[in-house]
Amino acid sequence: MLDLDSRLDFGIFKGFRWSREAFERFVVFMDRFHVGGWRRWLLVEPASEALTLGYVGLMLMLALAVPAFRETSDEDWLKKSELAVVFLDRYGNEVGARGIKHNDSIPLEDFPDHLIKAVLATEDRRFYEHFGIDIAGTMRAVVTNARAGGVVQGGSSLSQQLAKNLFLSNERTLERKVKEAFLAMWLETRLTKNEILKLYLDRAYMGGGTYGVDAAAQYYFGKSARDVTLPEAAMLAGLFKAPTKFAPHINLPAARARANVVLDNLVDAGFMTEGQVFGARRNPAKTIDRRDESAPNYYLDFAFDEMRKLVDKLPKSVSERAFVVRTALDSGLQQTAEKAIEDAIKQYGRDYHAKQAATAVADLDGGIRAIVGGVDYGESQFNRASDALRQPGSSFKPYVYATALMSGLKTNSQVIDGPICVGNWCPKNYAGGFSGATTMTSALTRSLNTVAVWLTRRAGGGNDRAGRNKVVALARAMGLTTPLTDTPSLPIGAAEVRVFEHTVAYATFPNAGKAVTPHAVLEVRTGMGETIWRFDRDGPQPRQVMPPQVAADMAFMMNKVVEEGTARRAMLNGVKAAGKTGTTNAYRDAWFVGYTGNFVCGVWFGNDDYSPLNRMTGGSMPAMVWHTIMEYAHQGVELKNIPGLPPNPAQTGPRIAETTDVPRPAMLSSKGAQSLVRIERLMDEASRVAPALPKLGTQTSAPPTVPGATAAADKVLPAVRRD
């Protein structure tokens, strides 16, 4: 042990001495590189700091690049962006298209030289010189914008714009710009310059629902992009910056002014001389007059977003990217809703300081029949009905009251309208004061804030947080997907919702407690006509989220809101209705969401910058617009009763002479509609077994044995004759 101890001590001693000697030799060696005086402060120190900062910057860039490259994780990223959809309304009429039109794509070498030059001169003059990010062009844009005091010149390269079109959204955030830069460099390593240019020309949105310059040339000039003249090419090149602002069918003078700027760019870039563009200046492009054409653009955008999500869920055996989609769109109702919103803003917008509005109309299975995301799609494509998050105010209270009924209360249960506080927050009623003991029905009819908070506490057994959790759980079950932040003011509508989700969630009440999924797509067919998806067969089924008696009690109370309370302006002649108004703090939002036995509709008014309205309440403009839309919707429709309310006075909705601007087509009865659906299903079943049956006129030695084929045929023909 003494020998081992001595050896260990000696080893440690030798190790320390060797380390000291090695360090001394290292110091002597490094002294050879010592730099002092001015060389150190002008050369060595700056270089050392640059290396340190460069290393930190490299790590930061790597951290920022990871989220961007996640966008490319799908090996089929290039093919997935080629989705092309032709949309039909619920009656089978074509109403528009979205996505890339595959059959309109033409080779890059077939594009006219002046079209290519016009695009490059305007969008990215140094396209063939940079690596995906044009540093010189970006700096030039920064200087130009600083001098102008605003954004007058973009700094994104053509590769960056393509990266945004393929992978990202249009949101203006720093995160998106960082992702855009990394993805542009990634594209440059995967594709050639000509491939990037070709994709950009084919996939950029060009206004009017068209994607790509060839589709735009067909839409605006009635010709292929191969044949466009210089003034037409200049007008097309001017659309990339702001397709809706400079679209010639919306604002022809602005489109021609923008085309003139493109001609200036051609000369400034040295691609053409002033003499070559002189004729194009004197003879601007003439376009096809499409001012009278109206497409349900907000609805088409909504349906296309839904279709893109749906395509990812289709079987892997479906390899096609072009589809024909039948939607739940009611074209006449859509036009009526758009006109009602536009007229309301024109007539009363100035008085109420209201600049925007949105609405959604759905039938009780969740099919969106109309959706309006703003006053003017040409000015703003942001869909406020599907994408905006706004506080619902008192229109959120039905979730609270339904939760209270599910906890054991009744419509005539006594509740307390009196001072109540949750922590430091003490809500007040809209009219001020308190009325003491009252019934639940009266409290909802008068939209008492204090009672909503009291009911939430009662549902939680005296625990406010537990009660709010129950309210949120029910709202989620009914269809709200937005983050419902748990705050004391949640019971009176402080959490934000989307218009279309909030609207369809109300369908739970006339559906006897069954929640449905909002959807625009009813049926998806391939280009060859094969049905590959149907909502009634493959979509989410209704789910029971509350007892039918609770839904009936809610209908009883919400009907009082329409007939005796804050929403009397929404009353329909001959049609029973129920609903709830909503007004938020400082009058930033005004709502009315209501339903009948046939439809549910929600209307919102407000401003994009959250500036307050001039004392607009949900019972004023929202209720009036709701009345206009629903009055049209029920014309000639076989009326259905709301469980919990007396029957409608008539069997069908009355024809209203004042709403003849958009003629209402004749409506099938529910029995007739069910018969048509039954026939369609039987025909689909027969078509699946038809290839196995012998062709007409052929002779066979023995009848074929095809399981189910004969039975299907036997069902189809009698059903067709009978129906």
CB atoms within 10 A of CB 226: 13
> What confidence score (pLDDT) does residue 35 get?
77
DSSP per-residue letters across 232-256: HHHHHHTTTT-TTTS-TTT-HHHHH
DSSP per-residue letters across 395-447: GGHHHHHHHHHHTT--TT-EEEES---BTTB----TT-S--EEEEHHHHHHTT
Whether the pLDDT of residue 451 is over 90: the answer is: yes
List the structure tokens of 353.
């300081």
Mean pLDDT across the stretch 112-118? Answer: 94
> What confidence score (pLDDT) does residue 60 get?
76
Pick from 555, 429, 422, 443: which is nearest to 490 by CA? 422
Q: How far apart are CA 572 and CA 562, in angstroms?
A: 9
Least confident piece of the model among 27-31, 342-346, 581-585, 699-703:
699-703
pLDDT tens-digit readout, 689-713: 655 555 444 444 444 444 444 444 4
343 pLDDT band (50/70/90 cuts)?
Answer: very high
- The percentage of residues in the chain with a pLDDT greater than 90, rounded to a whole number, is 56
101 pLDDT band (50/70/90 cuts)?
Answer: low
Residue 300 CB contacts under 8 Å (≥ 6 apart), including other chains: 87, 95, 96, 97, 98, 209
List the structure tokens of 185.
């460099």
> What confidence score (pLDDT) does residue 657 get?
59
CB atoms within 10 A of CB 349: 20
383 pLDDT band (50/70/90 cuts)?
Answer: very high
Phi, psi angles (nearest 5°) of residue 379 = -85, -35
- Global pTM reads 0.73
Pick from 102, 478, 167: which is nearest to 308 by CA? 167
> What confidence score (pLDDT) does residue 169 get?
64
**How many residues belong to the chain?**
723
Pick from 334, 348, 336: which is nearest to 605 by CA? 348
pLDDT tens-digit readout, 592-646: 999 999 999 999 999 999 999 999 999 999 999 999 999 999 998 999 999 999 9
List the structure tokens of 293.
């054409």
DSSP per-residue letters across 91-153: TS-EEEEEE--GGG---GGGS-HHHHHHHHHHH-TTTTTSSSS-HHHHHHHHHHHHHHTS--S
Whether the pLDDT of residue 573 is over 70: the answer is: yes
> What confidence score (pLDDT) does residue 184 get?
85
Whether the pLDDT of residue 290 is over 60: the answer is: yes
> What confidence score (pLDDT) does residue 230 get?
95
What are the residues facing 543 on neighbouring strands? 515
Whether the pLDDT of residue 206 is over 90: the answer is: no
Cβ pair 134, 124 in contact under 8 A: yes
Average model confidence (pLDDT) for the chain?
Answer: 85
Q: How far apart are CA 126 and CA 269, in angstroms?
A: 10
